[in-house]
């Protein structure tokens, strides 16, 4: 059985049901939805297409009633991250403007902190190997929950964000 593949209609459903973005803040036919989705399709590693999520665990408990594949979850999460950075507010609304400010989407981050210290305290964070090769896009994706979910899925299948060694 082939794992279900991501669709624009599936992403539109993800936008409303998972992200909780109402049609008043972003109409279902918005060009930003299709642009964000298309970008994600172009970037997510197509090798993830063959990784299904089991429908049931060994005890017979339903795990994946939606029939998602790892690939579709990666595409939808990356598309959601893209959408947060791209979408424009509807006339008289400030939903995306407020969300971008809250998540610091437009703030520049040049890398991951590996150590911090002052006269009385010191903190060091182990930087994973993959983070040493993060692109500016990957650093941007770290700023929102959907980008982080995408990176987690992508890195689950290899050290790099592309998912290959």
User: Has residue 67 been placed in a domain?
Assistant: yes
User: Has residue 71 been placed in a domain?
Assistant: yes
Residues 6+ away with beta carbon under 8 Å from 151: 138, 141, 142, 161
Domain with 138 in it: 8-155
Q: What pLDDT does residue 164 have?
A: 44
User: Has residue 57 been placed in a domain?
Assistant: yes
Total domains, the chain: 1
Segments of the chain assigned E as strands = 115-117, 122-124
User: Has residue 161 been placed in a domain?
Assistant: no
Tens of pLDDT, residue by residue over 75-88, are 999 999 999 999 99
Q: What pLDDT does residue 101 have?
A: 92
Residues 6+ away with beta carbon under 8 Å from 154: 44, 45, 48, 74, 161, 162, 163
User: Has residue 74 been placed in a domain?
Assistant: yes
Report DSSP state, residue 142: T
pLDDT at 8 over 80: yes
Tens of pLDDT, residue by residue over 109-151, are 665 665 666 767 776 665 566 666 677 677 677 778 888 888 8
Tens of pLDDT, residue by residue over 88-100, are 999 999 999 999 9
């Amino acid at each position: 059985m082939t794992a279900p593949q991501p669709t624009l209609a599936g992403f539109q459903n993800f936008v409303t049901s998972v992200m909780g973005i109402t049609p008043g803040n972003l109409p279902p036919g918005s060009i930003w939805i299709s642009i964000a989705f298309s970008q994600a399709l172009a970037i997510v590693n197509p090798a993830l297409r063959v990784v299904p999520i089991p429908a049931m665990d060994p005890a017979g408990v339903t795990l994946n009633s939606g029939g998602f594949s790892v690939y579709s979850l990666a595409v939808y999460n990356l598309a959601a991250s893209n959408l947060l950075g791209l979408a424009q507010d509807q006339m008289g609304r400030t939903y995306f403007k407020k969300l971008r400010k809250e998540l610091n989407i437009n703030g520049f981050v040049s890398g991951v902190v590996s150590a911090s210290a002052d006269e009385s305290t010191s903190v060091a964070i182990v930087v994973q190997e993959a983070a040493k090769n993060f692109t500016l896009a990957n650093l941007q994706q770290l700023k929102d929950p959907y980008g982080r979910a995408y990176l987690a899925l992508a890195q689950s299948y290899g050290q790099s964000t592309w998912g290959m060694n």
